[in-house]
Amino acid sequence: MCKEKNSAGARLLKPGLAIVCALLLVCFHKTQARAAGPTVYGGVDYAAVYDYDYYISQYADLRAAFGNDANAALRHFVVHGMNEHRQAIATFNVDVYKNNYDDLRAAFGDNIRSYYLHYINHGLGENRKATGSLPASAQQNQQAPQGIPAGSSQQARDRLAQTGRDLQAAYNWASSLTWTGDIKSPDIGTRAMANIGFTTGTGGCYVMAACFYEMARDLGYEAHQMTGVVPLRTGGVGPHSWVEVVINGTTYIVDPDFHYETGRNGYLIQYGQSGTWRYQDYRRMN
């Protein structure tokens, strides 16, 4: 369409049309690249911290799981990869970013996902540094002090000394907190939430779950604080937090707030179990 014959019958491009064709070709390749590696998920553009080709190239487990499914890879990064500290682009390492800035650590604590989102929304525009080597001292500081397992705290250990070092005793204590519903999102991080519960004896579902999570980690269990939504009696859904505990390869729900609000058992239940809440749109916070 962009070509015409010269007097000898050979096909040549007019200079102006040649430029147009070149630009169209560039646009076509860019469109193809975007189609091959989307960066928008749930209305958020993760391009500042995510590149499909880089993400897949760095992790053999992702290549095995998703192959060339770029949408599945992006979903994995958003739902799991960020919480797992995975690096998905050469220009952003979340552990380096966290270590570099005292103000971010003070704001977000161990809520790793928040560091990714801060860089997307603010850090990139502020020219904050997110690459380089992580100092050995910072790597050591990531480990819990005094032999306390990662994810636990001295507060959790002290509380277990009072309740007894037993998983159900930890659940009973967490579900006995005086309920306050002031925290309705995971933004401040598990450690800050647990501190509220251990210090004040009050808190809503996020604080209850955070306290139980730290106590479970101190007892040596694989545990993850969860954030998601559950249906409301008045219709629609509302934010909620609970804990997943993995025992002998089986994932159980421990939901102190479920017991507090319904009086029914929320200890070692499972997704879809009759008489429990319908947990939806959830992800692990840690």
In the prediction, which pLDDT does 179 show? 87
Residue 51 DSSP one-character state:
-
Contact 58, 73 (CB under 8 A): no
* Matching residue, tokens 């209305």: 43
Q: How far apart are CA 71 and CA 75, in angstroms?
A: 6
Look at residues 229, 245, 231 and name the one whose alpha carbon lies nearest to residue 283: 229
Pick from 2, 72, 78, 85: nearest CA to 37? 72
Q: Which amino acid is at 162?
A: Q
- The series of mean pLDDT values per 10 residues for the chain, 286 residues long, is 35 48 46 61 94 86 81 89 84 90 90 93 95 59 52 87 91 93 81 92 94 92 93 90 92 93 92 93 90
Token duo for residue 84? 């797992």
- Dist. CA 66–CA 53, nearest whole Å: 12
Question: Helix 154-163 vs helix 167-174: angle between axes, to the nearest 10 degrees?
Answer: 100
**DSSP structure class, residue 3:** E
The CA R_g of the chain, rounded to the nearest whole Å, is: 25
Residue-level pLDDT at 135: 62
Q: Are 62 and 74 in contact (CB under 8 A)?
A: no
* Listed residue (189, 184, 209, 186) closest to 259, CA to CA: 209
Q: Cα 69 vs. chain centroid, distance in angstroms?
A: 20
Query: 151 phi and psi, to 5 degrees?
Result: 95, -10
The rounded distance, in Å, linking the Cα atoms of 126 and 123 is 5
Q: Closest Cα to residue 130, out of 98, 161, 177, 82?
A: 98
Beta strands in the chain (DSSP E): 3-5, 11-13, 40-41, 44-45, 222-231, 237-247, 250-254, 280-284
In this structure, are strands 3-5 and 11-13 parallel, antiparallel, or unpaired? antiparallel
Q: Assess contact for 54 and 89: CB atoms under 8 A.
A: yes
Handedness of CA 207, 208, 211, 216 (dihedral sign): negative
pTM flag (> 0.75):
no
Give Cβ neighbours of residue 98 (< 8 Å, ≥ 6 apart): 104, 105, 108, 112, 115
| CA pair distance 94, 114, nearest whole angstrom | 10
The pLDDT value recorded for residue 188 is 85
What distance lies between CA 221 and its chain's CA centroid? 20
